[in-house]
Structure formats: C-alpha cells, structure tokens
Amino acid sequence: MSRTTKSHPSKRLIGALIAAVVGITTFGISSPASAATAPVGLGSAQEIRNQHSSMCLDDFDFGTQPGAEVRQWSCTEGSNQRWQVTDLGTGYAEIKNTFSNLCLDNFDFGTTPGSEVRQWSCNGSTAQQWRITSVGGGYAEIANRHSDLCLDNKDFRQLDGSPIQQWTCTGSKAQRWALTDPTVQKITWTLNRVASPTADEADAYARITDAMNRAVARYNRLSNISRSLTVSYSPGTPTADANIYGQIRFGKERVYMVEGTAMHEISHTVGLGTSTTFNTNCENSSWDSALALLRTWDGPDATIQCTPGHILNYGLNYNSEFSQLNLERHVKLVQSMLSDGM
C-alpha cells in the first residue's frame, strides 16, 4: 500500500529547539519542583489495546520510515504491535515501536481535535512525550504533552485499519487503553482431574485441554476479557455447559471437546445468555456497538438474533459454524457486547 509522508521542517526544527531548552532555568532562583507522577504501563514490549474495539495500536503496513502510519488492527502479538514504553522522569513517557524503532508522534505538532498521530524518528520533543494515567480497571488515558489531546479510536471504529487520532480528552472507552505484556494471559483456566484417571478420563482430559488451550489463546489475543475459569469432565452432562461464575463442564461426547464448543462456553462465563443485562439488551435491542460491528460483516439490515441463553449470529452453537472466520468474529462480537454493558 502506498502512502504519502509529509513533513514541515520549520515545525520540526522549532519543536526540537523547544525540546532542547525544556528545563533550563531562567535568570534568578528557581523553586524546587514537585515529583512528577510516573506514567503507568511501562515495559520493553507492550501491547497497547483499545478498550472499545479491543484492537491494538499497530505500525500499519510495517512502516519503517518517518511518517509511518499508526492505525488499529486485530491483535496479533507481532513486533509491529509491540511498543517500548519508557519513563522520561518528567511524568511523561516515550512510546517507541519495536519493529520500526520510531516513536509515537503528534504529527506536525497539531493542537486541534482530529490531529494526526504517526511515527517519527525519536527526538525527545514534546510531540513525542505522552502522559499515561491510570483510569482504573487496567486501563489508561494517553495524552500528548504538546497538544494535551488524548489518543483516540476515531469514531469508535471496530475494523482492521481504522484510524487513530488525537481528540479532546473525554474519558470515553475510545480513549482508554490497556498497556500490557501480551505474553501474560488475561484468561486463565484449570481442569479438575482425579488422581488416578481411567482410560476414558485420561482421553477426555487430553481432548479438553487441547480445546481449552486453543479457545483461551484466541480469546486472549482478540479480547480485553480477564477471567479465571474452572473446567470439569462431567460424563452426565449432555453436551457441554457453563455459568457466569466461570465454571465449564464437558460431557462424554468427544465431538464437543473442540475449540468452537470451548469458545461457546467461555462466552457464557462472561454473560452471554447468563447475565441480566444480556436479557435486557436483547429485549430492548440495545446493542449499539455490537450491532454496528455485525453490520460491517453482514450488511446494513443485520440484527442481533437472541434466543433464550444464546445468540444466532456467530454464537458457535453448532459444529458447522466452526470456521476460522466465525471463530474470530465470535470473540470480537462478544467483546463488543461487553462494551454494550453485557
């Protein structure tokens, strides 16, 4: 994909000069400065994930030249989505992409809502300094020192390649970001086992373990969800089931000991079909974010089809639905439903 890279040397030069003189004491005696609050989310290879879209800040198209674009993309744990977040000791941080070795930059030193965010050679200017402040729940607001505007998921979008901008800080989910090490798993699980399993139990444990590992890995990559799950082999269970307390049971039928079924049951543990809000939103068709996402896939007339305890759209209710595309969309839709309060 071709792209246009623009720069205005005068602005860059002025910004660099400003950066060079920051902190120089003017004539007279300066009063002691109070200690700056350190930014959160520091690390050598952090993922920066938007709360609304659950997508990652991405060095778009693996750019390596100053002016390279920054967009959001489904999280892959790739080096172009990993960022070195370094405390500058001033209450601000530098955010450098591990693939491009370029810094997250307030492009052209913008100061108005809608100003671009790109990557640029690291130079220490205020356009590359970011205040990263915890807003609770594992999320942070990321504001530029030069513009005092917040890093923002433009128009609350949920598609790969959607733009990132700066905007007046509002505290919305479009401006909340989780800065974490992607190798640390948000969803964890344990399997209840008997000490001396029979051949049937040992086989079931192996199949369930494979299914859960695959399902949890996909959920961890594509969602913001944190959950501890307890899984059991329960031969008396007809297929598989789960509850909102994080408990999943697999019955004796091996056909259900697969990733798609495990993902279906994980969705129940986070509220799909098991929470009061799910039922309320279904009754009132109050799926603003989820419906907008669904229509980008299935057209402008698509609707969230609720049935008792389930959804028909990408709900993974039957083995015939277990394509790779459907598995990916299932997680994204569940995440979007959580953004709608599920």
Are 84 and 92 within 8 A, CB to CB?
Answer: no
Strands (E), 130-206: 130-136, 139-144, 150-153, 162-167, 177-180, 187-191
Looking at the structure, do residues 240 and 328 belong to the same domain, yes or no? yes
Per-position pLDDT tens, the chain of length 342? 333 333 444 444 444 444 444 443 333 444 444 568 999 999 999 999 999 999 999 999 999 999 999 999 999 999 999 999 999 999 999 999 999 999 999 999 999 999 999 999 999 999 999 999 999 999 999 999 999 999 999 999 999 999 999 999 999 999 999 999 988 889 999 999 999 999 999 999 999 999 999 999 999 999 999 999 999 999 999 999 999 999 999 999 999 999 999 999 999 999 999 999 999 999 999 999 999 999 999 999 999 999 999 999 999 999 999 999 999 999 999 999 999 999
Residue 294: in which H helix or E strand, if any?
helix 288-298
CATH number at residue 150: 2.80.10.50
Looking at the structure, do residues 146 and 196 belong to the same domain, yes or no? no
Strands 177-180 and 43-50, by their bridges, are antiparallel
Looking at the structure, do residues 170 and 204 belong to the same domain, yes or no? no
Alpha-carbon gap, residue 279 to 33, rounded angstroms: 54
Q: Is residue 1 part of a domain?
A: no
Domain boundary among 180, 206, 229: 180
Structure token pair of residue 223: 């969602």
Are 132 and 141 within 8 A, CB to CB?
Answer: yes
Q: Is residue 24 part of a domain?
A: no
Looking at the structure, do residues 193 and 317 belong to the same domain, yes or no? yes
Looking at the structure, do residues 207 and 154 belong to the same domain, yes or no? no
Closest CA to 218 of 312, 335, 310, 124: 335
pTM above the 0.85 mark? Answer: no
Looking at the structure, do residues 240 and 101 belong to the same domain, yes or no? no
Q: What confidence score (pLDDT) does residue 112 get?
A: 98
Q: Would you put residue 156 in left (φ > 0), alpha (ψ -120 to 50) or beta? A: left
Q: What confidence score (pLDDT) does residue 173 get?
A: 95
Looking at the structure, do residues 191 and 232 belong to the same domain, yes or no? yes
Main-chain dihedrals φ then ψ at residue 178, nearest 5 degrees = -100, 120
Domain membership of residue 310 as a residue range: 187-339
Q: Which residue has the tokens 């994909």?
A: 1
Cα-based torsion angle of the residue sequence 54, 56, 60, 65 in order, rounded to the nearest 10 degrees: 160
Are 232 and 247 within 8 A, CB to CB?
Answer: yes
Distant-in-sequence, close-in-space partners of 31: CB < 8 Å, separation ≥ 6: none
Strands (E), 2-107: 43-50, 56-59, 70-73, 83-87, 93-97, 103-106
Q: Which residue has the tokens 């799909």?
A: 272
Looking at the structure, do residues 144 and 203 belong to the same domain, yes or no? no
Looking at the structure, do residues 80 and 55 belong to the same domain, yes or no? yes
Are 239 and 186 within 8 A, CB to CB?
Answer: no
Which amino acid does the sequence have at 21? V
Looking at the structure, do residues 172 and 209 belong to the same domain, yes or no? no
Q: What confidence score (pLDDT) does residue 36 get?
A: 81
Rg (CA), the chain: 23
Domain count along the chain: 2
Q: What confidence score (pLDDT) does residue 250 get?
A: 99
Q: Is residue 21 part of a domain?
A: no
Q: What confidence score (pLDDT) does residue 25 get?
A: 35
Looking at the structure, do residues 328 and 213 belong to the same domain, yes or no? yes
Q: What confidence score (pLDDT) does residue 34 get?
A: 57
Looking at the structure, do residues 308 and 264 belong to the same domain, yes or no? yes
